[in-house]
Amino acid sequence: MSLRTAILPLLERFFRKGGILGYHGVVEQDVPSPEMHVSLATLSAQLEYLRDRYDVISLRDLVRRRIDGRSLDGCVAITFDDAYAGIEQLAAPLLARLDLPATVFVTVNAAMIGASFWWDRLELARRNGPETCWPGALAQLGLEVMPPSPAALSVTREHILTRHAGRLDAQQMNVAEPPNGLLRSMDFEALGRLARDDRFEFGSHTLTHPALPFLSSGEQHREMVHARRCLEERLPRIVPVVAYPFGLYDRTTLREAASAGFHAGVTMQARALTRGDLALALPRVGVSEDWSSSAIAFRLNAGMSPLFRAKGGTHPRLPSPVSN
């Protein structure tokens, strides 16, 4: 038994627990980016654990309770970012079997065509084409060649966030598409099928998935308000919640989110909800393939929040420009 597992019952006895979980893609097996996506087997084990230990409620209900000042002790909401196709094909049947609600945050422009995302293409180039595709991708981005290591991937990601505001078109990084069709956004036809299950609600993940703090206030507003309007025209059960791409926001982002009509916003800070959290900057625990169920519970315990705040700060770190 690990130390974490041993002390978890004490933490849950004396401290509040609860929060929001953030998932991304779901695949059958052979997870291409274990720090981001999960396999169906892992998702099943994690969700069964949550069902048995927490009151899993919709994000809409959680936000309403938060705004009304009601207790969130023991409450957990499940969210999925980027509307990956694996949510419909793999996660939805599992959620139906367990009778659990979830919120899907949709990047509108990706959903228009069922597009893939640059971070998955970049990871594919790093893993499968270290001598050809990876150097080619770096050259297209104007970066010097680096070994295809996780550290180099992090540097490349920060370059894309700071120099391109997190947005790339096919010409800026012309690398192969992920061969697994589950790692593409659902198009609106697929989202419409998913919407037939009233366990699912939908939220805005902006139009183009930019790093919002690197845009002007007007651009941030347009990214959020136009995405929300488009979703309201196409799908039912739209929640007035925005998921900030890459978990990044600043004061301007919060102001423009409120101006766009959102009641809440969610980021990625891997800790439990606390009373001091702003409704427009609620933390989420980003779950990955290598997280055990006890690791999730540890993060969802309010007694550990001071430690995670001290370690990660009270605000997601904005990336710095990469010098080349």
Alpha-carbon distance of 180 to 169, in angstroms, equals 20
Give per-residue burial for 91-118: e unless 16+ CB within 10 Å, then b.
Answer: bbebbeeeebbbbbbbbbbbbeebbbbb
Burial of 119 by CB count in 10 Å (0-12 exposed, 13-18 middle, 19+ buried)? buried
Alpha-carbon distance of 170 to 202, in angstroms, equals 27
Alpha-carbon distance of 207 to 37, in angstroms, equals 22
Q: Backbone phi, then psi, for 304, in 5-degree steps? A: -95, -10
Q: Which two tokens stand for residue 82?
A: 């980027």
Domains, the chain, with CATH or none: 3-115+186-312 (3.20.20.370), 117-177 (no CATH)
Nearest alpha carbon to residue 60 among 187, 208, 198, 196:
198
Torsion of CA 66, 20, 89, 239, to 10 degrees: 30
Global model pTM greater than 0.95:
no
- Tell me what pLDDT residue 179 has: 77
Give 3-state DSSP helix, strand, coil % of the chain, rounded to 5: 50, 15, 40
| Residues present in the chain in total | 324
- Tell me what pLDDT residue 301 has: 83
pLDDT tens digits in sequence order for the chain, 324 residues long: 454 556 656 556 555 688 999 999 999 988 988 989 999 999 999 999 999 999 999 999 999 999 898 989 999 999 999 999 999 999 999 999 999 999 999 999 999 999 999 999 999 999 887 888 899 999 999 999 899 999 999 999 999 999 999 998 766 677 777 778 999 999 999 999 999 999 999 999 999 999 999 999 999 999 999 999 999 999 999 999 999 999 999 999 999 999 999 999 999 988 888 888 899 999 999 999 998 888 898 889 876 666 666 565 555 677 766 555
Alpha-carbon distance of 70 to 83, in angstroms, equals 30
Torsion of CA 9, 11, 12, 14, to 10 degrees: 120
